[in-house]
Chain A
């Protein structure tokens, strides 16, 4: 489903250049639950962003469902992200001006969808145990609640791939477990998951494990 071939990403950092991702090769299948572990600054987030088309590689190709995503124009690439990829970020990623319900509906604002948005929103909020917070604004939610809503939004368009960046960072143990349970359930429902974390111990259900060091990816 997702193939990375010799992907490298280099940034300008003042006078010097920083290579965040070095010649990464990776194949993700639709039933995979991939864990990428590594220390902060090892290039995990950049790699995840490259997979989701949020950043353009300096070299190499990224093929999603048979298409080199960087041959697509902005409109088509954005539509692909919207319909087929769900992002869960490590930081609070809800739009602060929208309530919980509208944050979920936001995922359906860019392209036509063929399902009932209201009932889908309701079902997903039930799934993440946030039904009673549909009208709450992000500023009124705790860190764990924000993560749950972000997961629900990532699932809104039934994506084929979930890219999760430290989804349990800064959360208490119980919430961590809840979120991992939701992600495992999504994977059982044939959604590929790529999760990056600096703490590999929390992910017991990963089917494949990688470690990332200084931009280089190694399968364990």
Chain B
């Protein structure tokens, strides 16, 4: 039978020195919270890319030469853009060796602050006959062809299924919504390409500003490469053989975001690293001061029968408990910040973001908690060793 456990003793010490406990915990909560938010941001971008590119289904996107930047911005962030090339490109691309299937799309930016448009969105006309990128990802299956005046919207477009939308004076009914990807397609409105042409033709009378798109024009050709072909090889063939076009491969898209993200994350991690180092020093100083103040108490514990190892474990346990508390508070705070501001961060940093999966979040939580505990360990190590080796009489006297 034993009296108080090490944990009970440590908990009592922390409870009775509540202000110091909370101050140290708050300091670590800031570090852990920042780190947790950054990691969540990084994971969210990775997740978005993985899901978005996966759902896009295309290995290569063929666009008019010189339109790489607006095309990428549209794909990643949903920034409306309009660019066109001749429809014959679709046929030329389909004839290239290594191409399994193609589907063309028409990109139209709706008008902002115009009474003829429900909002400023990227409108995408797709060919229902050949499409392999949109219809498979409806949140609930649409067991019929999309009607002429029906649209499918991305997850971030507010109106629900059955609601009406107005573009260039043409009324549409929302027939389905896509699952969230965190990428540009979440803010896009999809309609059959023939409807898009009709909308363009009618715009001369119905819209505040006419839409100039001819029926022989498309914006992009989405390409699925044969499984035994190399995407880069097929992409370079397209670029070489189809005049006036550029290509964006899914890998390029990922790399472009990753490059952008790595610059941002490097800066953030550097600042957090410095913040962590400063906090660790601060916490170590607080622990050192706290153990100095408690010298007599430590001497008393030794006199009552605590051995040096017990004293060491007690100080380290207190440190771990405080940093664990700080870590958990930081994780909760960081989670709230990311939940509230992830969209704003994504938009201002120009990066796609999709809330990470449970597995990713669990991993980030695990790492954050481990870092918090590690911080407690290193901050308390020296004071714990010094206290555990102190002669009891010296401890009692120097604490007087």
Contacts and interface: CB of A to CB of B under 8 A. Distances in A.
A91 B400 contact: yes
Interface string B285-301: 00000000000110111
Contacts of A137: 16
A87 interface: yes
A171 interface: no
B392 to A, nearest CB: 4
B297 A110 contact: no
Interface stretch (B108-116, B154-162, B227-235, B303-311): B303-311
Contacts of B144: none
Interface string A96-124: 11100010011111111111110000000
Contact of A106 (B1, B9, B17, B309): B9
B225 interface: no
Interface size class of A (residues with CB under 8 A): 35 or more
Given A78-B302, A81-B305, A93-B300, A106 B392 contact: no
A102 B393 contact: no
B3 A89 contact: no
A114 B307 contact: no
A101 to B, nearest CB: 10
A74 interface: yes
A108 B296 contact: no
A32 B303 CA distance: 22
A216 B160 CA distance: 95
Given A97-B16, A105-B4, A110-B310, A55 B393 contact: yes
B400 A82 contact: no
Main secondary structure of the interface of A (DSSP, over half): loop
Interface size class of B (residues with CB under 8 A): 20 to 34
B5 interface: yes
A38 interface: no
Nearest to B309: A75
B301 A95 contact: yes
Nearest to A150: B300
Interface string A65-95: 0000000001101110111000101010101
B308 A109 contact: no
A136 interface: no
A74 B15 contact: no
- Specify which of B2, B13, B299, B391 lies most central, judged by the most chain A CB atoms within 10 Å of its CB: B2
B303 A52 contact: yes
A54 B366 CA distance: 43
A82 B305 contact: yes
B283 interface: no
Contacts of B297: 95-96
B13 to A, nearest CB: 5
B12 interface: yes
Which 6 A-B pairs give the minimum distances between C-beta atoms? A82-B305, A108-B3, A105-B3, A78-B307, A97-B16, A55-B393
